[in-house]
Amino acid sequence: MDEVEDKKPDFFETIIGAVSFRKKYMDLSNYLLKKTKKATEMQTELLREISGEGTGQYKLKFDNGLALAHDPNIKVYDCNIRRCRVFTSAVRPMRMVFESRIFPDGWQEGDKVPESKDYAAMIKNGDDMRQD
Amino acid sequence: MDHLLKEINQDFRFTCYNALACSKNDGIMEFVEDSTTIQEVLSSNNKDVTAFLKSQSDDPARQAEIMHNYLISNAGYAVATYFLAVGDRHLENLLVKNNGDLFHLDFGFILGSNPKSKGDFWVPPIRINSHMVRGMGGQHSKEYEVFKQKTIDAFLYLRNYRQLFLNILLMMVNASIPDLPFAQY
């Protein structure tokens, strides 16, 4: 009988990554909301944090790429800091722009690596996202 | 609805963005690039959506394409919002992309409910406003006729799937969505 493999399946990493990413952005968002309520101040603070100049805890940079939870085909690598911003609507949603690669379904190691392009994601904390 | 219509080769140019709710009050979603709210379009183009659509390209063929995108996305969303009776439709919840595609966002009020703060006024069942119609060239234009025909086609086809939509909504009755109060059923 074949022995049961003790190897984690590939998607395990994806899930762990997505969960840790969620924790990261929640921490960042809570930190910003605690610090200030004004959208403009939040934005300067956000830019400082993700560029690693602030407390240095909330830098969003993934050397091996991180698959986004809502669309795992998209792997993000680094923030495009100039294009990130905080919106003025009630819950202060953040637009995070990442350098990303969109891997088509069935992509395998050794296939052509897709081009890097910007991907914008909206992150909300404080509002029910099901209504969007 | 997009999938159902695409099955019969009818692309109504819906803008479906991915959204994922991680808990009841946080989540992550796709940001649709190159889009402007109708509010901004109206204020920067002298209250004229047509001018905005025309200014996207100098090429007449491309302009016609943009107008076509605008028409059929309008028709598609008219039917979709009619089915779900989406409330709270103001000009900032309506966006238009640079290629002419119009789309709605923020579906916080569905099945006929509307924000209480805005008073209890009658809301037309089909969410089309005068700015959108003027963008097509007015009520007597050829474009408006195309729009009407497309809306009717989409409605008559999607009506065959009413049981599917009802089933999907019934499945969500216990999801504590404010507009789907399960206590009533």
For residues A97-101, average pLDDT: 88
Share of chain B above pLDDT 70, in %: 96
| 3-class secondary-structure state, position A52 | coil
Of residues B25, B29, B105, nearest to A70 (C-beta): B29
What local confidence, expressed as pLDDT, does residue B119 receive? 67
Nearest Cα residue in chain A from B106: A132
Of residues A69, A130, A131, nearest to B28 (C-beta): A69
For residues A110-124, average pLDDT: 86
Taking the CA of residue B22 and the nearest CA in chain A, the distance in Å comes to 8
Of residues B27, B33, B108, nearest to A124 (C-beta): B27
Asked if the model's pLDDT at residue B49 lies above 70, the reply is: yes
Q: Could you tell me if B168 lies within 8 Å of chain A, comparing CB atoms?
A: no
Q: Does domain B2-180 bear CATH number 1.10.1070.11? A: yes
What local confidence, expressed as pLDDT, does residue B152 receive? 92
Say what the ipTM of the complex is.
0.77
Mean pLDDT of chain B: 83
Task: Report the distance separating Cα B58 and Cα B35, nearest Å.
Answer: 19
Would you tell me the crossing angle of helices A10-35 and A39-50 to the nearest 10 degrees?
Answer: 140
Q: Which long-range contacts (CB under 8 A, 24 or more apart) does A9-16 make?
A: A14/A67, A14/A72
Task: Report the distance separating Cα B77 and Cα B128, nearest Å.
Answer: 9
For residues A23-45, average pLDDT: 83
CB-CB under 8 Å, A123 with B21:
no
Task: Report the distance separating Cα A130 and Cα B70, nearest Å.
Answer: 27
What local confidence, expressed as pLDDT, does residue B185 receive? 56
Task: Report the distance separating Cα A100 and Cα A120, nearest Å.
Answer: 9
Q: 10 Å Cβ neighbour count for B62?
A: 13
Q: Which domains does chain A have, with CATH numbers?
A: 10-131 (3.30.1010.10)
Asked if the model's pLDDT at residue B31 lies above 80, the reply is: yes
CB-CB under 8 Å, B175 with A122:
no
**Are the beta carbons of A93 and A124 closer than 8 angstroms?**
yes
> What residues does each domain of chain B span?
2-180
Share of chain B above pLDDT 90, in %: 3
Mark out chain A residues that contact chain B at CB-CB < 8 A: 22, 25-26, 29, 68-71, 95, 118, 120-132
CB-CB under 8 Å, A68 with B28:
yes
Nearest Cα residue in chain A from B87: A131
Cα–Cα distances in angstroms (integers) from residue B86 to residues A98, A132, B83, B111, B115, in the given order: 32, 12, 8, 6, 11
What local confidence, expressed as pLDDT, does residue A1 receive? 58
Asked if the model's pLDDT at residue B142 lies above 60, the reply is: yes
Task: Report the distance separating Cα A110 and Cα B112, nearest Å.
Answer: 52
Interface A–B counts its CB contacts (< 8 A) at 68
Q: How confident is the model at residue B143 (pLDDT cuts 50, 70, 90)?
A: confident
Of residues A118, A120, A130, nearest to B21 (C-beta): A130
Higher pLDDT, A3 or B16: B16
Task: Report the distance separating Cα A32 and Cα A52, nearest Å.
Answer: 14
Q: 10 Å Cβ neighbour count for B36?
A: 15
- Structure confidence by residue, pLDDT tens digits, A1-30: 566 667 777 778 888 888 888 888 888 888
Higher pLDDT, B155 or B114: B155
Q: Which residues of B touch A22 (CB under 8 A)?
A: 22, 26, 28
Which of A59-63, A65-69, A93-97: highest mean pLDDT? A93-97
Taking the CA of residue B141 and the nearest CA in chain A, the distance in Å comes to 34
Of residues B31, B105, B107, nearest to A95 (C-beta): B31
Asked if the model's pLDDT at residue B117 lies above 80, the reply is: no
Give the lowest-confidence range in B14-23, B100-109, B174-183. B174-183
Asked if the model's pLDDT at residue B148 lies above 70, the reply is: yes
CB-CB under 8 Å, B25 with A70:
no
**Are the beta carbons of B65 and B100 closer than 8 angstroms?**
yes
CB-CB under 8 Å, A125 with B26:
yes
